[in-house]
Every structure is written in structure tokens, then in C-alpha cells.
A and B are shown apart, each in its own frame.
Chain A
Amino acid sequence: MNTTANITAVRTHGLAFVLAMTVGVALLTVSGMAQATVLHDAAHDQRHAMAFPCH
């Protein structure tokens, strides 16, 4: 019973890590990588200051 509970816990946490990383990468894509003009212009100064490859 305990083993099952542990395995379930690890699986749930594994999903939590994947979820956190997916959301993290999505945010960074918007703030650092996406080239849509509106996004690029709005994020421009921050991208240079954070050393993203900007243009």
C-alpha cells in the first residue's frame, strides 16, 4: 500500500515539475524569443539588458 502511495506521489510530483518547466519556457518564449513586432518592441530594452539574442 505504501509503495503504491509513494509511486503515486513521485508521479504527481513528476507532473508538477513538467508543468512548472512548461509554463516557465512559455513565459521565456514570450519575453525573450518571440519575434512578433509588438512583443519584440515592448520587450526590447529588457531583452538587451538580459542578453537575449534580440535582433
Chain B
Amino acid sequence: MTKNLLSSAVFAGLIAGLIAALLQLVFVIPLLLEGELYESGERVHFLVDGMTQSDKGSPGLGTEWARHLMTIGFNVVTYTGYALLLIAAMGFARERNGTQITPQNGLIWGLAGFIAVLLAPAVGLPPELPGTPAAELAPRQVWWIATILFTAAGLALIAFGRSLVMHALGLVLILAPQFYGAPHLDTYFGIAPPELSAEFATISLGFAAIGWSVLGYFCAFFFARGEES
């Protein structure tokens, strides 16, 4: 079991991390690099006389291959980390409730993971372009982790709870951190065009959803195969 948990997570994390990194390099990182032009002041959107206008266009991936290799490497690390948590949860559900794990329902596990880890925290703390001033880091990290735990627990109650009360409690847990509210500054400081920030937020979440779907599928695929043998 231990060996199957760990090896399945490594394989699934590697596949999902590489696919996610490739998608990020094509769709997400160019926007991030474009945002850095505003962070460095090379491009200015909000001019002093009240005009707002700037050229659109990413500088492209450029030749910083060491930097992009790091992005690929850390994607594999992140997805392997999430794979370990997801497979531990799958194994626990299988052992405790007899839940069957298949690649098809692995996709649903992955999407639930995406909701808990990316979407729910992003409701309060949207993905940010570099250079976006934000509230102090530590309280944001605490709210972020708490929101993930509350949302995951809420989804688990809805998925495995056997009564309406349990399901309602699940919904309460999911909503609680949102009603509590994420830490925010009381002033807007953004220097990048609003369109670019919005595009970055939606595109990074969209491709993370694909990454998590792939992760869920392959976690279940390798885990189920290992348990059968």
C-alpha cells in the first residue's frame, strides 16, 4: 500500500506537472512576463494626466530557459505534492467506505481538488500578476490554507455524508471562509491594465483546472492498477 501510494503519486505528479507546465508556458507565463513590464516600469498604463492606455503584447518567453526549466521543475514538485494528498484521500475513502477508484471518477476527484485548492481560495484571493501590491503575506497564507481545508472538508461531507444534514453542513463549511473574508488592502494600487490582470486570473485558473483533471485521472489510474496487482 505505502509503495503503491508513493509511486502512483510520483507518476501522476510527473505527468500532470509536465502537461500543466507546458500549458503554462504557452498560455500563462507570457501574460506573467507582460505583467512584469509594468512592474519594472518599462511599460506604463496609468499616465499622470489621467489617461489610461498602453500597448498590448507579451515580450514572449525569451531566452531565459533556466527560469522556465525551474517553472517546469516546480510544477512537477507541486503536482506531486497534490498527488500525494489526493491519493491518500482516495486510499482512505476506498478503505473506509469501499469507494471504487477508477480513472473516470478520478476526474471528479481531480475537479473537486481543483475547487478546494484553486477555485475556493481564488474567490477571496484572485491569482495575481507579479507587482500587484497586496495585504501582508502571512495572514493571506493562513486564510488560503484554512479555505482549502474548510472547502475540502465540506466537499468530503457532501460526497460521503449519508444525510441531508451532513450535506448542508458541507455547504456551510465551504461558505464559512468566504463569509469570514480574505485579508485585503483598503486601497487599490494596481499598475497593470485591468484587462491583463483579469485575463491572467481566468487563464491561470482555467489551465489549473485542466492540470487537476489530468492529475485526478492519473492518480486514480495508477492507484487502481497498483491495488489490483
Contacts and interface: CB of A to CB of B under 8 A. Distances in A.
Interface of A: 10, 12-13, 15-17, 19-21, 23-28, 30-33, 35, 42-55
A33 B32 CA distance: 19
Given A27-B77, A30-B77, A42-B74, A48 B2 contact: no
Nearest to A18: B88
Contacts of A12: 1-2
A42 B76 CA distance: 13
Contacts of B130: 44, 48, 54
A26 B24 CA distance: 23
Contacts of A54: 128, 130
B222 interface: no
B105 interface: no
User: Main SS of the interface on chain B?
Assistant: helix
B100 interface: no
Interface stretch (B41-49, B79-87, B154-162, B172-180): B79-87
B137 A35 contact: yes
Cβ-closest 4 pairs across A and B = A24-B84, A27-B81, A28-B81, A51-B127
Contacts of B83: 24
